[in-house]
């Protein structure tokens, strides 16, 4: 049982690793023209591949276009909705079995190898999940000691209106953190360091509200879960690191869209002051390369509607190419 699960986990991990490399190339070559939120959204393809074994088989899959023999698709189910026949499948890169429902390996030696490594994988995954839970609980215990911030509530309401964020959101301060964070999923609150300069409060709130609007806390939890499952894959850890950097870049982009151009300098100064250090195991605002973020702020330009449409369509095409499985 465990060996069969690990077989598909390993296949998922290989596909995800290839997509990580491809997205890094896209990011390096076309990053100048792609909006930061679009770059960040593309990492959702990797997260999908790391967590969801099943996808739709399509002739538009990149595997079909580049090399159909690189990977095969194992059919899970065929659904005929009267308009088209949809095939749900899992990707099979290694092709080490004769049959796949259930798996029958080509040799007994291959089966023994997957039995051993499947057990090692399971032990590692359980340990990583337990470690993540313990760290999370310790962190939340300390964050729950934060006290409500005394400030002008109109600042928060103005920022919520700009970003069209609804719901009750509390603002707290804590001596445990050095940079602002968003805490909680159902009951969301923004926690900022003690003695924060009031001049920076508006920028901090817009940035953290951007996280809340996009449900970035859920993204982080799912990303950490994916890394716990694929702990053996260095590309999974690279995905976690780079996608979190792009998450912060996307929030910076949102802030710059919502403040006047003459306030960019103040926002940059707030980053310099806030992102010097970070003690939290689940970091937020200050966890990325501050230098690169400052460069992004200084080079930020508002794009035209036509360019936004073009780049969005290109990202949709990339998503279809990478998220679908080859035809069986």
Please give the Cα distance from 103 to 5 (Å, whole number): 10
pTM of the model as a whole: 0.87
Position 289 scores a pLDDT of: 60
Position 16 scores a pLDDT of: 94
DSSP characters over 110-152: HHHHHHHHHHHHHHHHHHHHHHHHHHHHHHHHHHTT-EE--S-
Q: At what angle do helices 201-213 and 216-229 cross, to 10 degrees?
A: 60
Bridge pairing between strands 181-183 and 85-92: unpaired
HSE (side-chain half, CA atoms, 13 Å) at 248: 25
Position 48 scores a pLDDT of: 96
Position 219 scores a pLDDT of: 93
Please give the Cα distance from 105 to 117 (Å, whole number): 15
Position 175 scores a pLDDT of: 84
Position 67 scores a pLDDT of: 74
Beta-carbon contacts of 274 under 8 Å, excluding residues fewer than 6 positions away, are 178, 179, 180, 193, 200, 204, 285, 286
- Is the Cα dihedral 99, 103, 104, 108 positive or negative? positive
Please give the Cα distance from 269 to 78 (Å, whole number): 56
List the structure tokens of 152: 């002008």
Asked if 223 and 204 count as a contact pair (C-beta separation under 8 A), the reply is: no
HSE (side-chain half, CA atoms, 13 Å) at 189: 16
Position 294 scores a pLDDT of: 74
List the structure tokens of 69: 């023999």
Kindly list the strands in the beta sheet with 170-174, ordered across the sheet, starting from the edge strand earlier in the chain: 147-148, 170-174, 189-193, 181-183
Beta-carbon contacts of 24 under 8 Å, excluding residues fewer than 6 positions away, are 242
The residue assigned the tokens 């190898």 is 113
Cis bond upstream, residue 302 (ω within 30): no
Position 203 scores a pLDDT of: 85
Q: At what angle do helices 2-30 and 305-323 cross, to 10 degrees?
A: 150
Q: Which residues of the chain have pLDDT under 50?
A: 277-288
Please give the Cα distance from 114 to 51 (Å, whole number): 20
Taken as a whole, the chain contains a residue count of 328
Position 75 scores a pLDDT of: 77
Position 277 scores a pLDDT of: 46
pLDDT digits (tens, 9 = 90+) for 33-88: 888 899 999 999 999 999 999 888 888 888 877 776 777 777 777 776 655 677 88
């Amino acid at each position: 049982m465990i060996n069969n699960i690990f077989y598909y986990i390993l296949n998922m991990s290989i596909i995800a690793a290839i997509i990580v490399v491809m997205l890094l190339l896209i990011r390096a070559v076309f990053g100048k023209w792609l909006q930061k939120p679009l770059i960040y959204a593309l990492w959702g393809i990797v997260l999908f591949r790391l967590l969801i074994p099943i996808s739709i088989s399509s002739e538009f899959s990149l595997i079909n276009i580049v090399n159909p023999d690189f990977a095969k698709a194992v059919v899970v189910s065929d659904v005929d909705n009267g308009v088209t026949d949809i095939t749900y499948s899992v990707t099979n890169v290694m092709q080490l079995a004769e049959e796949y429902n259930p798996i029958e390996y080509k040799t007994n030696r291959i089966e023994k190898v997957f039995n051993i490594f499947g057990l090692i994988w399971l032990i590692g995954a359980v340990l990583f999940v337990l470690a993540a839970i313990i760290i999370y609980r310790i962190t939340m215990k300390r964050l729950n000691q934060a006290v409500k911030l005394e400030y002008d509530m109109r600042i928060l309401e103005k920022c919520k209106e700009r970003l069209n964020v609804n719901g009750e959101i509390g603002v707290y301060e804590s001596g445990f953190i050095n940079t602002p964070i968003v805490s909680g999923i159902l009951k969301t609150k923004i926690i900022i360091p003690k003695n924060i300069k009031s001049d920076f409060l508006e920028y901090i709130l817009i940035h953290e509200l951007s996280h809340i609007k996009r449900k970035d806390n859920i993204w982080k939890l799912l990303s950490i879960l994916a890394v716990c499952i694929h702990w053996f894959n260095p590309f999974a850890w690279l995905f976690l690191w780079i996608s979190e950097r792009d998450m912060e870049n996307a929030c910076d982009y949102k802030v710059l869209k919502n403040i006047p151009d003459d306030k960019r300098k103040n926002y940059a100064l707030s980053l310099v002051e806030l992102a010097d250090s970070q003690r939290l195991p689940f970091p937020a605002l200050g966890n990325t390369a501050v230098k690169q973020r400052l460069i992004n702020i200084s080079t930020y330009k508002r794009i035209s509607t036509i360019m936004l449409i073009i780049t969005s369509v290109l990202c949709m095409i990339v998503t279809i190419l990478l998220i679908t499985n080859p035809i069986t």
